[in-house]
Chain A
Amino acid sequence: MKGKIFESQISNHQFQISNKMTDFITFISTHIDMVYVLILSIFVGVEVIGKVPSVLHTPLMSGANAIHGVIIIGAIIVMLNAGVDNIPALVLGFIAVILGTLNVVGGFVVTDRMLEMFKKKTKN
């Protein structure tokens, strides 16, 4: 009697694991284009940086910093999806949009200010 319960627990457990596996495979295959984008982007990111002179490290980091401000799109989506009566989502989303915009605008403007100087000196 005891053994039977145990066995059924095991098979149940195995079922759950295989269920998770199917979940995982389904997730990957429904998002397969995303997975491709993910993998290729990693290589593009590495490739694009390539041999960068140390002079440009700071502006490049700053520029990359501005680009990850793309997270603001997520914040906008949060707000677009939130209903008018979903106050917590709207409040947090509102703050998130402010923060994301700060990241984007501040990031690009700071980078531009750094690079502006590089330009001035090549002219002289």
Chain B
Amino acid sequence: MQHHILELIYLVGSLGFIMGLKMLSHPETARKGNLVAAGGMTLSILGTLLFYKEEVPIMIYGLILVAMAIGTIAGWVAAKKVKMTAMPQMVSIFNGMGGACAMLIGLIEFPKFLGADESLGLLTVLGSMVIGSVSFAGSVIAWAKLNGNMKKEIRLPKYNILNTAVMIIVLLLVGLIVTGQIDDPAIVYTTCGIALLYGIMLVIPIGGADMPVVISLLNSFTGMAAAFAGFLYANKIMLTGGILVGSAGTILTVVMCKAMNRSLTSVIFGAFGGGGASSAAGSGDKSVRDISISDTAVLLNYSKKVIIVPGYGLAVAQAQHVIHELETILVDRGVDVKYAIHPVAGRMPGHMNVLLAESNVDYEKLVEMEHINPEFATTDVVLVIGANDVVNPAAKTDPGSPIYGMPILDVENAQNVIVNKRSMSAGYAGIDNDLFYKPKTSMLFGNAKQVLTDLVTELKSMN
């Protein structure tokens, strides 16, 4: 009877996951969708605790509850405290925790199957362990990269071949263990170690700009690891949950790649952000034009239409509230103000929307790239705040550029372009930006928050 109840609970839980994911993909229902999925999860966890097995020693229940309490408090506090700008690395580290969990399950369960001539049982255990390990190690590296602890891409010589070789070794070992050729536990531990190494090697050569894609990919990896574990326990909720994330995550990864005009293979095997030697050379004779705060304020004040292009620099400087203040002042004076949101503005697709939403910027004012691009021609001033690669014309004109082919915001069509940057240093892709040298472009150097605050003061004093 208990098992039947549990199966029913799992059915409801799976429905929660599916409905939740479906609702998450529409703006109006997204928040409810998240709650629905969380409800399905809570129900399934409680059901497992209550109905999975009878006569479990009370001490074990105690241990489980203590562990869950620790995880809940730590997860809750971390998730509530994290700054919005640090959101991507938070997602990455939570993903890594799931991967580590799958790895541990594999490590605990494999001795039951090893040497017992249970090939398919072994396959599910090792699947969970290996994929979990890769996801765990990779996520930690992705976290360190996004967090700024690991700034440079580390490229071992011939890293593509090396990585592929390591992957083949892992697969080979798994194959040998599964077919019963090897039944030494030490080899299983070694396989786990090599899988961890592979996770590290997979992510270290990838540039920060591609990190969202990597996180999404590792996310679907963890989903697959969960699905393997689901097969292991013949547990349907783990299977549906895992596979849903596995397939949805893969699609999401592909969609993200498309938004950045990159293919998945070029993210993993091709390098991004290292070279750029082709166009960077010969910039010595180019000069940029400075503009002062007061000139900018005048220009903005007498414009009819202003488009703001926010980038990661804005997020880092925590200037999202000031930009909203600036926008409000301009709107009060009859200026038409919009924000141009590049699909990968910030560090992740949609990241900039979240940041601006946090400071109460109106939803209608955030315009996606394909809708805003035709509007630049009729715009008086474009204010680029801490964005670089997403407005780099080299993406259109220079086939040698590493970002060639990436869709960009056509800011150069506007009457005036004012670029706020801290310095002339290159953007995330590590390449020079021709936009800064165009006659229509003026540079407004300084920390985004400081500059915007000064602009607001200046504008206020003008009336």
Contacts and interface: CB of A to CB of B under 8 A. Distances in A.
A92 B212 CA distance: 30
Interface string A23-67: 110010001001001100111111011111111111111111111
A99 B41 CA distance: 15
Contact of A98 (B48, B67, B343): B67
A106 B362 contact: no
A74 B119 contact: no
Given A49-B252, A118-B31, A70 B242 contact: yes
Contacts of B128: 74
A105 B63 contact: no
Task: State which size class the interface on B falls in.
Answer: 35 or more
B232 A67 contact: no
Interface in B94-151: 94-95, 97-98, 100-102, 104-105, 107-109, 119-120, 128, 132
A8 interface: no
Contacts of B303: none
B294 interface: no
A65 B91 contact: yes
B216 interface: yes
B34 interface: yes
Interface residues of A, number: 85
A107 B94 contact: yes
A121 B21 contact: no
A121 B361 contact: yes
Nearest to A58: B350
Interface string B202-225: 000000000010011001101101
Nearest to B369: A54
B316 interface: no
Main secondary structure of the interface of B (DSSP, over half): helix
A89 to B, nearest CB: 5
Contacts of B60: 79-80, 82, 84, 90
Contact of A108 (B37, B68, B71, B358): B37
Nearest to A76: B48
Given A64-B245, A73-B44, A56 B239 contact: no
B33 interface: yes
A66 B44 CA distance: 14
Interface string A1-24: 000000000000000000010011
Contacts of B37: 63, 66-67, 108
A109 B75 contact: yes
Contacts of A109: 75-76, 79-80
B76 A105 contact: yes
A56 B350 contact: yes
B30 A106 contact: no
Interface string A73-113: 11111111110100011101111111111111111111111
Contacts of A51: 25
A77 B84 CA distance: 35
A1 to B, nearest CB: 28
Interface in B234-262: 234-249, 251-252, 255-256, 259
Given A57-B350, A117-B354, A118-B31, A73 B238 contact: yes
Nearest to A107: B94
Nearest to B344: A54
Nearest to B90: A110
A-B complex: 8 closest residue pairs judged by Cβ atoms = A101-B71, A45-B247, A106-B75, A70-B241, A57-B349, A105-B75, A109-B79, A97-B67
8 contacts: A38-B231, A41-B244, A42-B247, A63-B33, A74-B238, A105-B76, A108-B37, A110-B87
